[in-house]
Amino acid sequence: MAYENIRLEQDGAVATLFIDRPKALNALNSKTLQELEAALNSIGTDVRVLIVTGGGEKAFVAGADIAEMAALSEAQAQEFGALGHRVMAKLEELPIPTIAAVNGFALGGGCELALACDLIYASEKAKLGLPEVGLGVIPGFGGTQRLTRAVGRARAKELIFTGERIDAAKAKELGLVLEVLPAEGLLPHCREVAAKILKNGPLAIAKAKKVIEAGADQDLRVANELERKTFGELFGSADQREGMKAFLEKRPATFTGK
């Protein structure tokens, strides 16, 4: 499928999704969100890791498109917010690891897009924040909830109430970003992480992601019971048999995701 505002490229089992509206600093308008939704829905079982980044050098995603939002009615804003939430939920619920390569401004909707990914790595040039209150609104694509889960309630309130933009080093200090890389090393680093992931059992990774996400908001005993069940279920898989056989035979495993 041809897209106007995004690019989806695949190299083996790793796909890279570029938000590519450089003249608008990759801002998320309705069309871009719709294209993102279509691209995420199109990802096949041959993709085992997805990297999300911004086209151009200045921005990951500078935010939602204010030029479009300024004219929205209340009903239209509800629809726009629902579209954004749907895209972030789809990204978050993909059964494969997702990596945000934050290469520049990740503000508002851009920060929310990164937060919907499993792992976030940032360029030294990155700036992150949720400055929506300066526009008289609040984060509308899940930012109030995902940021709180990432950095804690008080710090999320501070960042949202002040609308402060933080640099990559501060984001790492808060636990929002895992590592800070030179701009030219960001995508290579994300691809190195992807290569490490690809060495492991895809079924086990999908199950681990599901258990982590499902258990995060549960009582510890309930979450541990989910882990126990899933651990046992994997012993019915070909990947488990291959992984343990390969270990005992001192050779790399050949996983099939079954």
Domains recognised in the chain with CATH numbers: 6-198 (3.90.226.10), 202-248 (1.10.12)
The secondary structure of 198-236, three-state, reads HCCCHHHHHHHHHHHHHHCCCCHHHHHHHHHHHHHHHHH
- At 6, the pLDDT band (50, 70, 90 cuts) reads very high
**Which pLDDT tens digit goes with each residue over 183-234?**
999 999 999 999 999 999 999 999 999 999 999 989 999 999 999 999 999 9
Catalytic residue at 112? Answer: yes
Q: CB of 139 within 8 A of CB of 108?
A: yes
> What is the chain's Cα-based Rg?
19
Phi-psi region of 148 (alpha: psi -120 to 50; beta: other; left: phi over 0): alpha
**Catalytic option among 9, 37, 79, 132:** 132
Residue 117 · residue 98 · CB < 8 Å: yes
9 is catalytic: no
* Over residues 229-250, mean pLDDT: 97
pLDDT in tens, 39-85: 999 999 999 999 999 998 899 999 999 999 999 999 999 999 999 99
Q: Is the pLDDT of residue 1 over 80?
A: no
Sign of the CA dihedral with 106 first, then 110, 115, and 119 last: negative
**Given the residues 112, 158, 184, 225, the one annotated as active site:** 112
Looking at residue 57, its pLDDT comes to 85
pLDDT mean across residues, the chain = 97
Considering the entire predicted model, what is its pTM? 0.95
